[in-house]
Amino acid sequence: MIEIAGQTYSLEDPMVLLALGAAAILLLIALMVFLSLRAANRSARMAEPLTQQMAILGQNVQQLGAGQEQLRGGLQHVSDTQANAQVQVIQTMEARLGDVQQHMNDRLADNAMRSARALAEMQERMKESLHGSSKQTATSLTQLQERLKTIDKAQDNITKLSGDVLSLQDILSNKQTRGAFGEIQLNDIVSKALPSDSYALQYTLSNGKRADCLIYLPNPPGPIVIDSKFPLEAYEALRRAETQAELNEAARMMRTALRAHIKAIADKYIIEGETADGALMFLPSEAVYAELHANFPEIVREGFAARVWIVSPTTCMATLNTMRAILKDARMREQAGAIRKELGLLHKDVERLGDRVANLDRHFGQAAKDISDIKISADKAGRRALRLDNFDFEELAPEDTGSVVPLTKPGE
């Protein structure tokens, strides 16, 4: 490195080497001029050709200086062009990075808003679903408690009525009174054992026959009829019989009356497709019921064969409790179906939430990948800018002084 007039020149610079070569030539020319002047005294003839050569050499030196100035101007132009190109590349990269960053910020903000909105909607739906399910469950439990209280009261009343020993002759005097007594007792038992919407009193069937009570059981078995019958005359004759003949006649009357009642119930109240395949015959007297099972078992078997089941107040209550359990189970199944439906909707909401969370995670993953790609592109651009900044020329080859070879490797 040499410094001339405040400017530093490198010995590896082709221009510097060219200038030094020119200086050396000038010194050589000067030496030759000096030697020529000394030889001028010795040979006048030789002075004239030497003077011509010196003039030609001076012209060559002037041309060499002009070429040096042109080369210096070209190098300055290349340096300025490189600096301007580097500034433009940096400005372009900064602008593109700013646009990409703004786009990414907008996308992240939009995804965050969508995720928050989806989570809020899912939370609201889950809250409404759970609130509805809990409200239905509380209502069902309240109704169940009320019905259990009703059954307990009915059982207490039946126990109290069973303990009272009353004479049927003092209470009942004719068939209409007995029928009204049986219907009232049946209504009382049914109303205490079953909810009001599960039965109908004095229900008219499609055949025009009116049943004392129709209980709406689910299929199977379907709606079942309860009809009140009271064979009081035959029972009183049986109780008053003193001789074997009177006892036999009273037993015959009892069988005839019960068979007529069984046949009437089977013909009137068992309708295929409308009612259950059986019916209940209600005897409002525990004494008549006990007499029937004690001394007339064949009548009971005939009732079974005709699908007519004979019940007393106590056994009717037990049967109604069984029916109540069936109704309760059916309604619980309905409630369970509603709860299962809500749970299915809740499961779908949770699956939809999982899908949206997966989509959100995928969006965040894609955003992270985009940012990583941007960083890689920025690093590559920075390295290329650095290589442009370090761009330099090799020394001029002696055989090719007019070409400039870049220092970067091929392909860079």
* pLDDT tens digits for range 327-347: 887 777 777 767 777 777 777
Cα separation of 88 and 93, whole Å? 9
Q: Which of the 8 DSSP states describes residue 12?
A: T
Count CB-CB contacts under 10 A for residue 308: 24
pLDDT above 70 covers a percentage of the chain that reads 81
* Residue 170: both structure tokens together: 């003092």
Predicted confidence band of residue 47 (pLDDT cuts 50, 70, 90): low
What is the model's pTM? 0.40
* pLDDT tens digits for range 219-258: 878 899 998 887 777 778 888 888 888 888 888 888 888 8
pLDDT above 90 covers a percentage of the chain that reads 0
335 and 140 Cβ atoms separated by less than 8 Å: yes
Q: What are phi and psi of 204, to 5 degrees?
A: -95, 125
The secondary structure element, H or E, covering residue 53 is helix 44-163
Chain-centroid distance, C-alpha 107: 24
Cα separation of 397 and 404, whole Å? 9
Instruction: Say which range, 35-39, 273-277, 344-348, has the weakest mean pLDDT.
Output: 35-39
Predicted confidence band of residue 277 (pLDDT cuts 50, 70, 90): confident
* pLDDT tens digits for range 360-401: 777 777 877 878 878 787 777 777 777 766 655 444 444 444
Residue 78's region, left for phi above 0, alpha for psi from -120 to 50, else beta, is: alpha
* pLDDT tens digits for range 73-116: 777 787 788 778 878 888 888 888 778 778 877 887 887 788 77
- In one letter, which amino acid is 387? R
Q: What are phi and psi of 310, to 5 degrees?
A: -90, 130
User: Is pLDDT larger for residue 204 or for residue 40?
Assistant: 204
Average pLDDT of the chain?
77
